[in-house]
Structure 1
Amino acid sequence: MTTATFASLTLLLASCVGAPDQPTSPAPSQRPAPVPAPAPAPPPAAPVEWQYRPTTPGNWTYRAESTGSVASFGAPGTAALVTMRCNVAARQVSVARAGAGKGLLTVRTSYGATNWPAAATPTAVVATRTATDATLDQIAYSRGHFALEAQGVDMLILPAWAEVSRVIEDCRR
């Protein structure tokens, strides 16, 4: 065999060999990466019972008047949020909760809750009770605080300080 023939055969043989095998992998996807679903919203927090809520900021003050006595609760230099007034002649205690609420005034103590019928005025919800009402004792002896609430206004968590007890006792003499 001649060198020319050998070169031709080698060339022919080389052309018979195909391209090297390439790994067969799937074509890259043209779809965008999936967007993760938003995390589910956390469940709503369980409502905190009134006795575990913080006390409404403010202080009680006491003053004697010609018709009885008054205990007022509020922040210094602002209008009172709550006023407890003794009418000695009628032997009645009125509780006025500031705000344009309506309906009943609910009193919550460590003894339970009591609904008092109340009159709504443009500036307050007022409930009047006889001085012998047992709920007044429950307010005075509640474990450190009590709550007042009326429809349409926020609940107030109030400290059961001596000023409250003094107004109640003034009406019982």
Structure 2
Amino acid sequence: MLLGDLLTKRTDYTPVSPEAEYAVVGVQRSGWGFVRREPVRGDSMQFSKLMQLEEGNLVYRTITAFEAPSAVVGPEFAGTFVTPQAFPVFRFDANRILPEFMSLMTTFPEFHEAMSERCTGTVLRRKTLFVAAFQSIPINLPPLDEQQRIVDLVSAPVWQLYCMGFH
């Protein structure tokens, strides 16, 4: 299965209002998550539209994508904004993949490699990962109940794992 089989690209953009201030974020490399930027007034940016993030969205950065900049939006970043030209935003098919599982996948070296090998361009810092190429990443997806067990196991405190017999 391909990543694109699990996602729908969002196109419900927010028009930029000159007098409004926007909480803007970027996406860090290797699944490290989001980083807050200084708030930006609409009249000081060159963009006419932004994308307001929703909890559970998948976002990646199209340029310097060889660094595998992708993340799933958690509650602390819901409501913030990205520029849709550089940060495509997707919703998941919740009947097939858990956002928490996809969040883990963004940290996997295999996922980083798949992003990196699909980048195009000749200048390293400007190499781009187009949406179709991102959606072409192959995914080995376990059933939802197994995804949940994996998420629970990875997020369990060490002492809980010890009590469960993992030592």
TM-score scaled by length of structure 1: 0.23
Which has a greater percent of strand?
Answer: 1
Which has a greater percent of helix?
Answer: 2
Look at both structures and tell me which one has the larger radius of gyration over its CA atoms. 1
TM-score scaled by length of structure 2: 0.24
Higher RCO, Cα 8 Å, sep 6+: 2
